[in-house]
Structure formats: structure tokens, C-alpha cells
């Protein structure tokens, strides 16, 4: 009797421990519904569906897109042919040649949420220090992460460069940045949200090591420069003759650059260009790689709010969606409709943060 109980206990323990998750997501931007048998997993069509606490090694799902394309597939929740425990399996649901296809992308360990979810208030009250992070109208720091204010004139060109104090704030954030990418983002946001003198731009460019990145930043900032008569001095931080020639070529033909500045976006880029960008993002298996590529490619185009919605659907997690949406705001041609993209987020807190960001840009 004891042996039977022991075997039963062991079987139940293994059964419970072998729970896995299955995440189905699409890079097409077309929402879909997942069915197990005749029961729908998600009540309304979504682009990212999570099935939790799966105890079997195989599961049969039916997927139906809102455009009526559908498929029924058997998915194996195995790692190299062996049963897995506490893993999340990620599958890309794609449409090619009017057929639905599932592609395995990755597995991740399921990590439980911290408990308690909200830490207890510290004994020492640090609330004043936490809230005292407003750097003028340059940016606001929340948990060490800057949210930038838009200081560009609502009409007309830049006439007066940003205050010297803003340059001090920018230098503070640049020195605080841990990586080359972080430094680039500080300077990029400063260029997109402020009027600059040539001298101010050069002071920031010295912190960038790669000249191709410097050229990108000049393209952002050039349309916000107040003393274009001094633009010949912009090559002072460049060392390569080829870079200097490309810079001079850009300055001479700056009027022909249609998408050089997010502030100057008046018309969305052609649909095929937006689609091509989305296809490049869909190739990558995780949001980290996808976001790195996105940051390099997005500045060359202008977007409608609907274009932005489709691109954000390429990302799985709210974190990357939120970071990408803040960058795309400056390239949006219909900013009055921008907050309509909020339904791409999984959490209300993400939509609320985006709303706060937009309010700071007005």
C-alpha cells in the first residue's frame, strides 16, 4: 500500500512540476484567436497569445486570423526531443502565400513574479530624493530613466539654442550612461527635442566613437541648428576624410533630405518601405535583437499612427514596444492620433506611461 501511495505521489509531483507555457505571436500585425478543441483561449483576437500551465508534451491548437486564414497544428513542447519543465516555448505564427505557418523561435525559463510584488516601504523615507529628479524642462528622471520634454518651437524654425543649463544636464546623463548605445540615445533625444547651436552639437559629438553614428546624429540635429552659417565647423569632431566629405555633401543638399528630421515629417513614407522595415524586424527571435536593429533603421522614415501600430506589433514585450513608440513619436505625421496605438500594449501601466510621455511633448 505504501509503495502504491509513493508511486502515486511521485507521479502527481512530476505531473505538476512539468507545467510549461506556450507563446504564439505574429509578425504580420493581423490579430488571431487560438482554440483548444472548441474553446477559445483569448476572448478577443490578439497578436500575442500566451497559453499557461500545459502539462502535456504535445498540444493541438487551432489558429484563426481575423482575415479568415486558419490552421490546425500539433506543437511539441520538447527540448532536443526530451520533456521540458517550467519552460516557455515561443512560436512565430506567420502568413506566407495565403497559408498559415508556425515556426519555433526560442525557449525561456519561466520566472515567477517577485513576492511581494510591491516591496515594503523602506524604514528611511527617501521619497523626496526619488521625486527630486526634474531637470528643468529638459527631462524628468524616473527610476534613473529619462523622459524628455519637447522644447522645439510650435511653428517656425529654431532661432535660439537651448539654455546652457540643458547642456549641463545632457553632459550629466552622457557621463552617467554605461554603454555606447545609452550615450547615443541621450544625444539623439537631446537633438530631437531641442534647438541647438553648432558648438552645443559638437560638445555632444565628442562622446560618440563611431563616425557613422555621428553622421546620423548630425542629420537629426541639422534642422534644429540655430546658426547654420557655422555648419562648416561640424566636421571638427570627425577624423576620416570620407566622413567629412559625406558630411559636407549632406549639408549642401540638406533641402533634398525628405526624412532627415522627425520634426519635419509631414507625409508618411511609402507603404512598401514601412513593410520592408517590418519584415527585417520579424527575422529576429527576440525583442532585444529586434530593438537594436530597429534603432538603426527607423530614423530614415516617416510614419502614420497606423504604420506605428503595425511596427510595434513586431515586438512581444511592452518594454520594447514602449521604448520604440517614444522614438517613433518624433517621426509620426499625425501626432493627434498617436495615442490610438495604446491598445498594442498588454498592460494599462504601459499605456499610461505613453500618455504621460506624449503630454510632455506638447
pLDDT of residue 132: 57
Element (H, E) at 36: strand 32-36
Mean pLDDT of the chain: 83
Under the banding of pLDDT at 50, 70 and 90, the label for residue 73 is very high
Query: Does the pLDDT of residue 50 top 60, yes or no?
Result: yes
pLDDT of residue 178: 82
User: What is the spatial distance between Cα 264 and Cα 260, in angstroms, rounded to a whole number?
Assistant: 8
- CA count, 13 A, side-chain hemisphere, 47: 22
Rounded to two decimals, the pTM is 0.46
User: What is the spatial distance between Cα 256 and Cα 259, in angstroms, rounded to a whole number?
Assistant: 9
Query: Does the pLDDT of residue 113 top 90, yes or no?
Result: no
Give the pLDDT mean for 24-39: 88
Give CATH for domain 2-109.
2.60.40
pLDDT of residue 312: 93
Give the pLDDT mean for 115-142: 67
Query: Does the pLDDT of residue 287 top 60, yes or no?
Result: yes
Q: Which of 225, 168, 216 is nearest to 198 (CA)?
A: 225
User: What is the spatial distance between Cα 78 and Cα 55, in angstroms, rounded to a whole number?
Assistant: 12
Domain ranges of the chain: 2-109, 127-264, 271-360
Which cell goes with 303?
510614419
Query: Does the pLDDT of residue 129 top 50, yes or no?
Result: no
pLDDT of residue 124: 56
Is residue 228 helix, strand or coil? Answer: helix
> In 10 A of CB 242, how many CB atoms?
9
Grid-cell match 515561443, residue found: 90
Q: What is the separation, in whole angstroms, between the first and last Cα of the chain?
A: 74
Amino acid at each position: 500500500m505504501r509503495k502504491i501511495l509513493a508511486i502515486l505521489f511521485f507521479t502527481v509531483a512530476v505531473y505538476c512540476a512539468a507545467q510549461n507555457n506556450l507563446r504564439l505571436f505574429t509578425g504580420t500585425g493581423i490579430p488571431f484567436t487560438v482554440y483548444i478543441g472548441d474553446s477559445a483561449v483569448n476572448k478577443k483576437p490578439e497578436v500575442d497569445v500566451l497559453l499557461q500551465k500545459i502539462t502535456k508534451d504535445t498540444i493541438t491548437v487551432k489558429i484563426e486570423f481575423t482575415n479568415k486564414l486558419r490552421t490546425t497544428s500539433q506543437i511539441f513542447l520538447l527540448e532536443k526531443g526530451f520533456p521540458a519543465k517550467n519552460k516557455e516555448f515561443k512560436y512565430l505564427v506567420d502568413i506566407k502565400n495565403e497559408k498559415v505557418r508556425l515556426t519555433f523561435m526560442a525557449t525561456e525559463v519561466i520566472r515567477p513574479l517577485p513576492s511581494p510584488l510591491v516591496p515594503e516601504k523602506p524604514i528611511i523615507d527617501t521619497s523626496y530624493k526619488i521625486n527630486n529628479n526634474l531637470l528643468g524642462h529638459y527631462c524628468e528622471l524616473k527610476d534613473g530613466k529619462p523622459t524628455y520634454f519637447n522644447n522645439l518651437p510650435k511653428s517656425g524654425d529654431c532661432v535660439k539654442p537651448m539654455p546652457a543649463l540643458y547642456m549641463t544636464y545632457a553632459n550629466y546623463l552622457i557621463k552617467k550612461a554605461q554603454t555606447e548605445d545609452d550615450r547615443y540615445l541621450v544625444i539623439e533625444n537631446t537633438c530631437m527635442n531641442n534647438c541647438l547651436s553648432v558648438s552645443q552639437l559638437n560638445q555632444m559629438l565628442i562622446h560618440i566613437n563611431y563616425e557613422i553614428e555621428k553622421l546620423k546624429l548630425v542629420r537629426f540635429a541639422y534642422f534644429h541648428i540655430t546658426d547654420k552659417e557655422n555648419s562648416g565647423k561640424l566636421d571638427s569632431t570627425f577624423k576620416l576624410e570620407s566622413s567629412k566629405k559625406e558630411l559636407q555633401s549632406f549639408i549642401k543638399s540638406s533641402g533634398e533630405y525628405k526624412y532627415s528630421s522627425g520634426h519635419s515629417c509631414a507625409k508618411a513614407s511609402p507603404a512598401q518601405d514601412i513593410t520592408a522595415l517590418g519584415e527585417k524586424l520579424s527575422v529576429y527571435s527576440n525583442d532585444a535583437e529586434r530593438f537594436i536593429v530597429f534603432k538603426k533603421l527607423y530614423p530614415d522614415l516617416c510614419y502614420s499612427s497606423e504604420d506605428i501600430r503595425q511596427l510595434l506589433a513586431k515586438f512581444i514585450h511592452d518594454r520594447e514596444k514602449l521604448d520604440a513608440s517614444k522614438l517613433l513619436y518624433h517621426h509620426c505625421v499625425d501626432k493627434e492620433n498617436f495615442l490610438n496605438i495604446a491598445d498594442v500594449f498588454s498592460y494599462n501601466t504601459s499605456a499610461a506611461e505613453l500618455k504621460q510621455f506624449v503630454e510632455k511633448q506638447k
